[in-house]
Amino acid sequence: MSIDMAQFHQVFFEESFEGLDIMESGLLNMDPSAVDAEGINAIFRAAHSIKGGSGTFGFSHISGFTHVMETLLDEMRDGRRPVTPSGVEVLLRSVDILRAMLTATSEGGEIDQAHVERIKAELEAELRGAPSEPQPTSPQGGQITAPLLDALGWHIVFRPLENMMRTGNDPLRLLVELDTLGALQIEVDITSLPVFAGFDAELCYLSWDLRLLGKIERGAVDEVFEWVEDECELIIMPILPKAVPAAQPTPMVEASVPSVPVSRSVALVPADRRRKDRRKVEGERRNDRRGGPEQAASSGSSSIRVDIHKIDGLINMVGELVITQSMLGMLGEEFDMGKLERLREGLGQLERHTRELQESVMQIRMLPISFTFSRFPRLVHDLSAKLGKKVELKLSGENTEVDKTVIEKIGDPLVHLVRNSLDHGLEPPDERLAAGKPETGTVYLNAFHKGGNIIIEIRDDGRGLNRDKIEEKAIERGLIDEEHNLNDQQIYELIFQPGFSTADEVSDVSGRGVGMDVVRRNINELGGGITIESTPGKGSAIIIRLPLTLAILDGQTITVGKELYIVPLVSIVESIQVRREMVNMVGGRGETFHLRDEYLPIVRLHEVFKVSEEVVTDLTKGLLVVVEGEGRRCGLFVDDLLGQQQVVIKSLEANYKRVDGISGATILGDGSVALILDITGLIRLAGANHPMSCAERRFAMRAER
């Protein structure tokens, strides 16, 4: 029976993209002047896994390209070739082209073969450079005087994990393979053998101390163990001539493993420690959160990985729900008023379990924001080199969890904002030094939970926003007049106008006036908001507020006539009952009301949605709900406010059609449908996204007097 390998392709691609992220992160963190052997090992293993998987599935173009990368990395990790900045750069470019090849292969697209060949030629040119002789180092970093070529053989400590044989690997076959390489001396350790009554034939209780004598290449020894390196504790050391002092012993990390001398430059690290290191490297994309490694998927993937603890919790919760349902069913069969208290208890228990089940299901979709943050070290590395600036990127809050859909859609807006910080915000080194700042600028990317939302901050310590320049450009474009009375915050908000740019020159980084309006629109579509803070000469910050999930919404129920609507709670500023003297009519803008220092437009919802039955039309008898969107405010005139509740969002566009001012719908507890208001769309209807001119302000003030 033949096996359809295509069913495993998606898993291969997802794991390969994860491997590329590990490689990129490791290369960006690599310091050629102080090379971390474990970092190179992690990069090499990722490349080796991609090569092996692509070869298995017949993607020969990917395996062939990765083989050249793997060769270069192999020479770097065993000390035959120094790690140089040029080598790191060509490997970073290779990661990019490998990502493009995997993307094209997974989507059935065309591969830019000319580009592939150019990068492959760069790799081969790097390989043709004369490799240096390996210089073994002690665990403390000092050099060993004798070269590795003087080694008499290899001392191998091989301790399989108990379950190794259950994965189909047989330690005996490995020993037979080693014996073909040279003279093999074997000492077996049987101290872990249990008594016969406790013996399990499928478990491995033995370990071996091996000496493989002869002029044998290290790579040949590695190949024997490469398929079991995660299923054993393994140490490989050169056997040096007696005249050469060996490196001082270094105790193993695990207490159960005896102290064995280890030379970091030539030895594999024990498998359990390798796994810990790999988790550390992968931590930039998936961190230990709430009980273990969680979901992992490349952005835009149709699948996610879920920690088994979450699945177990979900199953337990469903079991509790079934028990409660069974109890209520029995009560309903022969119900009388004497069982009323038990019925109330059962309903309360059902509500509690349903809420916990909802939270458990939502947690399955939650991913750390590090899935998005992981792309920025490379972006900052490349862009700072292009702009001739020295930049340090500081990330915090990478473990903050948010819905997978939000993560997929927030990536591009964040990329644009970080590029803006590097291009517009941070000064060149000479300008920073002249201003008394360090020549290296800093960009901070932070995420945290606040009030049921996720807050993402992009801060820099650059020059800040140029208020005068923004004002000048706005007047030039007719967005405001010269007699305006806008404060700093309102001036800063003008950069979100379509086509607005303060760049003097157009480049491939910025200056075309395309971006900030799109950033705001994308964030608004996610139900979030964006604000700006800036201090001249000290830096600026863009603050994004997003919902944790797009599936459930905290809402305020309002009534307009006989109709019910839901207003997103995050958009509500306050609710007020207006007096007649607060309301004014402004020519061309309709009704406004004076709230402290602002004149806000009034949106009569019964007029927007053409509700006519039993509607309150007198402003003094209804309520105004002050809402905010796109940095602007308006007052929604409604009949009354009902309770607050969580609602499940249903797409109106998918089930009916797009309606201006409506973002979705939900089904209420009584089975009726309530529409969810699109605050941004309603503000546009009110014209609140255009600043009020000075003439209109003066008219409003006269009308008020």
Catalytic annotation, pick one of 48, 155, 416, 424: 48
Are 637 and 602 within 8 A, CB to CB?
yes
| Token representation of residue 57 | 């599935």
Give residue 280's identity as a one-letter amino acid code.
K
**Spatial CA neighbour of 264 closest among 152, 136, 147, 132:** 136
Residues across the chain:
705
**Spatial CA neighbour of 532 closest among 464, 471, 485:** 464
Non-local (6+) Cβ contacts of 239 within 8 A are: 151, 152, 153, 154, 155, 211, 213
Q: Quote the CA–CA distance of 418 and 650 in Å, as a whole number.
A: 33
In degrees and rounded to multiples of 5, residue 105 shows phi and psi of: -65, -40
Signed CA dihedral, 604, 605, 610, 616: sign only: negative
Q: Quote the CA–CA distance of 179 and 211 in Å, as a whole number.
A: 10
In degrees and rounded to multiples of 5, residue 471 shows phi and psi of: -60, -45
Q: DSSP for 25-65?
A: HHHHT--TTS--HHHHHHHHHHHHHHHHHHHHTT-HHHHHH
Q: Quote the CA–CA distance of 540 and 436 in Å, as a whole number.
A: 18
Are 358 and 364 within 8 A, CB to CB?
no
Longest CA span, the chain: 104
Catalytic annotation, pick one of 18, 38, 70, 471: 70
Catalytic annotation on 581?
Answer: no
Q: Cα 414–415–419 angle (5° rounding)?
A: 115
Are 218 and 258 within 8 A, CB to CB?
no
Q: What is the DSSP letter of 205?
A: -
**Spatial CA neighbour of 317 closest among 363, 354, 291:** 354
Q: Quote the CA–CA distance of 17 and 101 in Å, as a whole number.
A: 11
Helix (H, G, I), strand (E, B), or coil: what is residue 573?
Answer: strand
Residue with tokens 């629109």: 521
CB atoms within 10 A of CB 377: 18
Catalytic annotation, pick one of 41, 420, 446, 524: 420
CB atoms within 10 A of CB 499: 11
| Token representation of residue 284 | 């930039």
Q: Tell me the sheet residues that pair with 648.
A: 552
| Token representation of residue 675 | 């529409």
Catalytic annotation on 420?
Answer: yes
| Token representation of residue 7 | 């069913």
- Radius of gyration of the chain from its Cα atoms, rounded to whole angstroms: 33
Catalytic annotation on 284?
Answer: no
Q: Quote the CA–CA distance of 404 and 366 in Å, as a whole number.
A: 6
Non-local (6+) Cβ contacts of 290 within 8 A are: 307, 309
Catalytic positions are 48, 70, 420
